[in-house]
Homo-oligomer: A and B are copies of this chain.
């Protein structure tokens, strides 16, 4: 039996393009002699469709698409993922389903049993979990078909009280197939391989795994579909961050073979390389899927905006990136020079608009109210917000999308101005800690100097008052980032972080800052997620509350 794994990029709610893409791959696979073509979880509607799943019309459109797809399944079978009505009298009315389609008809339906409802996942919001498990018979083979999380109930940390394969294995299947929509995080590829390998060896079955690829606003699906033998050995791996279709033969001996050169990686790429690739895909799909081409951003001469500019130029083409230098009376000459060098290195478009006349007009207008009170955060924020007004005016006039350039460390402690530098359509490095931003800059410069060395080596500064440095208000970033990681990623208490060797007042101050900034993060743009715990849908905190300390 020849099986094609189709790792494709879907668009949420775009039934026309998703259906056309699925059909064309079925036809191509059929021409290449495939008996079965396997697509990813919820491929018909895209993932995550969120509350569109609560619209009956949305589910009906999925059903219509499935009918169109079934029509082409003559002399070739396919597995597709879609939400379906279950018509049960109790429980939720939807299932997260896989259709096995053969001879133009739906021959079997498998429903997902384990519904992830943590971090960015909300599947229990929509779906009823399945409690029935049956193998699918096809061309003399028994297929144990499961959907994503169904294989993720680990032995060490069982999050659920059932395990679908423990039921299916009693029906003596020949092969496991798992269809998934598993989003990227920099450590997720290794975790995925380990858990799937464990399944293959535990059940002594070969395993074919198909993931989605492509970004859906903040979530980036990295592809990297996988094939294991019945000892749990990884025998093939589809490319990451791009579409692909590959063919495998399940022999009479239930051994999987393939003709193409293995794309198995000999070593895992470094985290920072993965993050780089993920962000490029995230930017590209955000623009492509929302019908925009041109990005704009403010360049300060600092490392954050430089990295974002370089990423945008790589993702969209330098000709589609407008960088704007917005100097104030506190901007240093070297910052302007660093920004100009970057523009020259990248070849992107650039404008310079000084903000002094604007901030002076605002301060003059506020003179009766402010009445010679000393310069403070109010005047600092006026600068940041004046820049945002100019950038947004350019967006409104010319059709750009503004890229947000805040990093995760700043977003964590609220070191940014709401409606100022926290503006944007999408946050490019909002899930990248400052120490990782330095790594990204060095990675971008791996072949030649793109980001001016001076932007990398000078002490970070917001330049909103004379001689300001980030370290005036914050600990050094290597210390700050470790505290942030402990609190955000690992949900440690201050006592536990202090025990790791960090200064008590610093730890308490940082955690206090994190919690005080919830109201700011509530209003920030969606953040491209590259870590296991990003701000946004994956981390849901109260705004008004008294916080842990």
Contacts and interface: CB of A to CB of B under 8 A. Distances in A.
Question: A161, A381, A396, A419 — which one has the most chain B CB atoms within 10 A of its CB?
Answer: A419
B523 A525 contact: yes
A515 to B, nearest CB: 9
Interface string A351-374: 101110110111011101110010
Given A117-B117, A540-B122, A57 B493 contact: yes
A90 interface: yes
A369 B324 CA distance: 11
A46 B524 contact: no
Contacts of A89: 158
A419 B425 contact: no
Nearest to A373: B397
Interface residues of A, number: 95
Contacts of A91: 158-161
A330 interface: no
Contacts of A54: 491
Interface in A7-57: 11-17, 46, 48-52, 54-57
A377 interface: yes
A544 B285 contact: yes
Given A354-B365, A390-B366, A546 B396 contact: no
A542 B389 contact: no
A203 B356 CA distance: 73
A545 interface: yes
Nearest to A15: B546
Contacts of A160: 90-91
A138 interface: no
A519 interface: yes
B542 A217 contact: yes
A408 interface: no
Nearest to A374: B397
A145 interface: no
B122 A290 contact: no
A216 interface: yes
Contact of A357 (B365, B491, B496): B365
A48 B118 CA distance: 16
Interface in A516-546: 519, 522-526, 537, 539-546
A378 interface: yes
A241 to B, nearest CB: 17
Shortest Cβ-Cβ A-B pairs, 5 listed: A12-B545, A14-B546, A57-B493, A378-B396, A361-B361
21 contacts: A12-B542, A13-B542, A14-B545, A51-B539, A52-B541, A61-B548, A90-B158, A216-B542, A216-B544, A289-B544, A358-B361, A360-B361, A362-B386, A369-B394, A370-B393, A377-B396, A382-B389, A385-B389, A385-B419, A522-B526, A523-B525
Interface of A: 11-17, 46, 48-52, 54-58, 61, 89-92, 117-118, 122, 124-125, 158-161, 216-217, 285-286, 289-290, 351, 353-355, 357-358, 360-362, 364-366, 368-370, 373, 376-379, 381-382, 385-386, 388-390, 392-394, 396-397, 418-419, 423, 425, 491, 493, 495-496, 519, 522-526, 537, 539-548
